[in-house]
Each structure stands twice: as structure tokens, then as C-alpha cells.
């Protein structure tokens, strides 16, 4: 069974848990969902799975090449300890991949997609980048050099990813001893917050001990509620722009920079760094937590119904594509993926404030 097929089988569970979380939130008077945001987050997850079909050729391909030609030995996938150690080692590599994703502008341009939602719920977990394959595969090559088979690598990567789904919720509080060892909802809420005391903390995927070991741990403070999103808000429901807007900002500042050194530093220094001359001539507003306002343009009932209808169609198309992708030629895969992305853009178009009027004819 392929990785995309496993995701297809897990999808009903994802939606079931989203439904349960929504109902629990409504019952408690703490509803954390908005239709426009949830559709956008899930849609970006769909887009990530589509691009993943193509990116796997690079990530698994390079891993396999290193494993076959550079590893001094090869571990057996039939040994249980190889799987256990492989999962722990993958999680360690993921910690550093994730940390660099927050501290290096090039990697943040990809990873920021996951943080753009100004809500925090299980749909946020599905919100994934489509460009994480740019450089991300480098962090896992130590596993290949140590002889972990590609089957083990691919499997533990999927396990690590699936584990992280449940931690994206505000409906589960602190879990005592579990929070001290594992990534749990409280720990990960901190990670998604833009508050000063929470910023760039808690990178662990399964184990939070990496953060405790390397000085990046912060505990959730009940007196300081988490504020979610990014410090440079997207303010758009366009899924393509969500993936490209930080690259576009970096490219724009690169053109503006007066020295080649600054042009290079823009991509590899901490996100937000800008050359002094660029910052002086093209200033950006200073982030102020007190003035954070969620992007929440109204949607007419007609726009909501139209968006849900299109979204249902693209989910069905995505399911068929992911299940059968391995049977299709590369041109067929590209055409199918492009069609689904076009439908995702339609959903985003219907969600934008200037577009709600376009669906008024469908209004109930």
C-alpha cells in the first residue's frame, strides 16, 4: 500500500475527529471553527498531498541513493529495534528540520503555511506546505547514512506525521507527566502562538524532550492565552498565494538589496531580517499583539453553499487521484493535480469578501 493510499484511508477518521471536536466546542461554548478558515486549511492539506506525489520522487529518491551507495552497512527491516530506533532518530531529525523551519527564512517561507491559520483546531493539523521538499530532505540523510532502509524511513515519517494530528486542539488541557515527555496539545499550542514568550518554542514532533535538551521549551501559561497565526498575516484564502507569498517577499527584498551579501543573507538569516537600507526605504509595520485582528471576511449563505459543493467535488477527485496515482503516467498526474488545484482556487475565490456577491444568485 502506498503512502497516499494510507492517507486516503485515514481521511474519514480525520473528519470524524474534526466533527467531534466541533460538537464538543459548541457544547462547551468554545467553538474554535470558522468555515472559511477550515476550508482553507483542509484545502492546503489537499494541495500538499498532491504535490507530495511528485516530491516523493526527490525525497525518497535521494534517500534511496544515499542508502544504497553511501551507507557503510544496511540494517534489517525485519528487526523490531530498527523500527523503534528509526522512529526516535526520525523524530530527532524532524526536530532540527522543524527548528530550522522557524529560524531560517528560506525554510520558513515553506513552513509558514502550516502556521498561517489564526484558528487552532484539528483542521489546522491538515494545513501543510506544498514546498517543504525544498531542502527538507537534507535533514533525514543521516538515517540513510546509518543504514535505515527506505521502507523504515518512509513508514516512521508517516507515523510521526499522523501522531501530530491530535495535538492541534484547544479542547484538551494539560496532561501532567505526559506533557513533560511528549508533544501534547498544551505544548503544541505554545508552538503555534505568536506571543513573545511562546515564539519559536516547542518544535518536537512526538517527543518534547528534544526541546528540553536544546533550550527551546516553553510551558503554556494559563494567564497568557495563546494568540495564533503568524506575525506577517496572509490575509487571503488563495491556496496558491498561501504557498508563494513569503517567497515573493524574499524575492522582492532581494531585488531591492544593494549588495550581493545582503541578497544572500535575506534567504538564510532569521525570518523577518532585512538589510538596513531596505528596511528604511520600504518599512513594514511593527508587530503589535494588542492590535492583532483575525482575517474573517463575511461569506453569504450562497457563497458558503457553493464553496461546500465545490469542496466536496474536489475531495472526491483527490481521493480518486491519491488512490490511483501510482497507476497514472506523470503527465496524467500533473493534469489531475492541476485540476484539483484549480478547484481549490475556486473555493478560495468564493471565500474572499469581494467574491461573496458573485454567489448571491445561489443565496438561500
Q: Are residues 80 and 206 in the same domain?
A: yes
231 found inside a domain: no
pLDDT of the chain along its 364 residues, tens only?
888 899 999 999 999 999 999 999 999 999 999 999 999 999 999 999 999 999 988 999 999 999 999 999 999 999 999 999 999 999 999 999 999 999 999 999 999 999 999 999 999 999 999 999 888 999 999 999 999 999 999 999 999 999 999 999 999 999 999 999 999 999 999 999 999 999 999 999 999 999 999 999 999 999 999 999 999 999 999 999 999 999 999 999 999 999 999 999 999 999 999 999 999 999 999 999 989 999 999 999 999 999 999 999 999 999 999 999 999 999 999 999 999 999 999 999 999 876 444 443 443 3
Domain encompassing residue 112: 56-214
289 found inside a domain: no
**Of the candidates 194, 214, 234, which is a domain's last residue?**
214
- Of 164, 159, 149, nearest in space to 60 by CA: 149
Q: Are residues 195 and 61 in the same domain?
A: yes
Q: Are residues 99 and 201 in the same domain?
A: yes
Q: Are residues 207 and 312 in the same domain?
A: no
250 found inside a domain: no
Q: Are residues 72 and 189 in the same domain?
A: yes
285 found inside a domain: no
Q: C-alpha distances in angstroms, 69 versus 72, 139, 149, 152?
A: 8, 18, 12, 17
**Of the candidates 214, 249, 272, which is a domain's last residue?**
214
What per-residue confidence (pLDDT) applies to 185? 98
Q: Are residues 199 and 345 in the same domain?
A: no
Instruction: Give the pLDDT confidence of 174-189 residue by residue, as tens digits.
Output: 999 999 999 999 999 9
Provide the sign of the torsion angle of the four alpha carbons 136, 55, 49, 85, taken in this order.
Answer: negative
323 found inside a domain: yes
267 found inside a domain: no
What per-residue confidence (pLDDT) applies to 357? 40
Residues ≥6 apart with Cβ < 8 Å to 177: none
CA–CA distance, 286 with 288 (Å, rounded to integer): 6
Q: Are residues 169 and 317 in the same domain?
A: no
Q: Are residues 306 and 186 in the same domain?
A: no
Contacts by residues 307-311 (CB-CB < 8 Å, ≥ 24 positions apart): 307/35, 307/36, 307/39, 307/347, 307/350, 307/351, 308/35, 308/39, 310/343, 310/346, 310/347, 310/350, 311/39, 311/42, 311/43, 311/343, 311/347
**Of the candidates 180, 214, 248, which is a domain's last residue?**
214
CA–CA distance, 59 with 134 (Å, rounded to integer): 9
Q: Are residues 210 and 305 in the same domain?
A: no
pTM, 2 dp? 0.92
272 found inside a domain: no
Q: Are residues 79 and 207 in the same domain?
A: yes
Q: Are residues 188 and 87 in the same domain?
A: yes
Q: How many structural domains is the chain composed of?
A: 2
118 found inside a domain: yes
Average pLDDT, the chain: 94
Question: In this structure, are residues 58 and 133 in contact, taking their beta carbons and an 8 Å threshold?
Answer: yes
Q: Are residues 305 and 191 in the same domain?
A: no
Instruction: Give the pLDDT confidence of 250-277 residue by residue, as tens digits.
Output: 999 999 999 999 999 999 999 999 999 9
Amino acid at each position: 500500500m502506498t503512502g497516499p493510499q494510507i492517507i486516503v484511508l485515514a481521511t474519514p477518521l480525520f473528519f470524524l475527529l474534526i466533527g467531534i471536536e466541533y460538537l464538543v466546542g459548541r457544547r462547551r461554548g468554545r467553538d474554535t471553527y470558522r468555515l472559511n478558515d477550515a476550508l482553507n486549511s483542509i484545502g492546503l492539506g489537499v494541495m500538499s498531498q498532491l504535490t507530495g506525489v511528485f516530491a516523493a520522487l526527490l525525497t525518497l529518491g535521494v534517500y534511496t541513493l544515499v542508502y544504497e551507495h553511501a551507507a557503510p552497512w544496511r540494517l534489517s527491516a525485519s528487526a523490531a529495534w530498527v523500527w523503534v530506533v528509526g522512529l526516535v532518530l526520525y523524530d530527532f531529525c524532524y526536530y532540527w528540520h522543524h527548528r530550522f523551519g522557524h529560524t531560517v527564512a528560506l525554510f520558513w517561507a515553506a513552513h509558514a503555511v502550516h502556521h498561517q491559520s489564526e484558528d487552532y483546531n484539528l483542521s489546522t493539523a491538515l494545513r501543510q506546505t506544498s514546498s517543504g521538499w525544498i531542502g527538507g530532505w537534507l535533514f533525514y540523510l543521516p538515517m540513510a547514512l546509518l543504514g535505515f532502509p527506505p521502507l523504515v524511513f518512509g513508514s516512521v515519517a508517516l507515523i510521526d506525521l499522523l501522531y501530530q494530528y491530535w495535538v492541534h486542539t484547544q479542547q484538551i488541557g494539560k496532561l501532567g507527566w505526559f506533557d513533560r515527555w511528549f508533544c501534547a496539545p498544551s505544548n503544541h499550542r505554545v508552538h503555534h502562538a505568536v506571543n513573545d514568550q511562546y515564539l519559536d518554542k516547542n518544535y518536537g514532533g512526538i517527543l518534547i524532550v528534544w526541546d528540553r535538551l536544546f533550550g527551546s521549551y516553553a510551558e503554556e501559561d494559563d494567564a497568557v492565552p495563546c494568540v495564533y497565526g503568524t506575525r506577517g498575516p496572509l490575509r487571503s484564502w488563495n491556496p496558491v498565494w498561501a504557498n508563494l507569498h513569503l517567497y515573493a517577499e524574499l524575492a522582492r527584498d532581494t531585488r531591492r538589496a544593494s549588495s550581493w551579501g545582503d541578497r544572500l543573507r535575506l534567504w538564510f538569516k532569521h525570518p523577518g531580517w532585512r538589510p538596513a537600507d531596505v528596511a528604511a526605504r520600504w518599512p513594514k509595520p511593527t508587530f503589535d499583539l494588542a492590535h492583532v485582528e483575525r482575517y474573517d471576511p463575511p461569506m453569504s449563505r450562497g457563497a458558503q453553499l457553493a464553496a461546500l459543493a465545490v469542496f466536496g467535488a474536489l475531495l472526491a477527485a483527490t481521493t480518486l487521484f491519491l488512490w490511483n496515482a501510482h497507476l497514472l503516467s506523470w503527465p496524467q498526474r500533473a493534469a489531475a493535480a492541476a485540476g484539483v488545484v484549480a478547484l481549490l482556487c475556486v473555493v478560495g475565490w468564493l471565500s474572499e469578501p469581494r467574491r461573496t456577491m458573485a454567489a448571491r444568485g445561489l443565496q438561500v
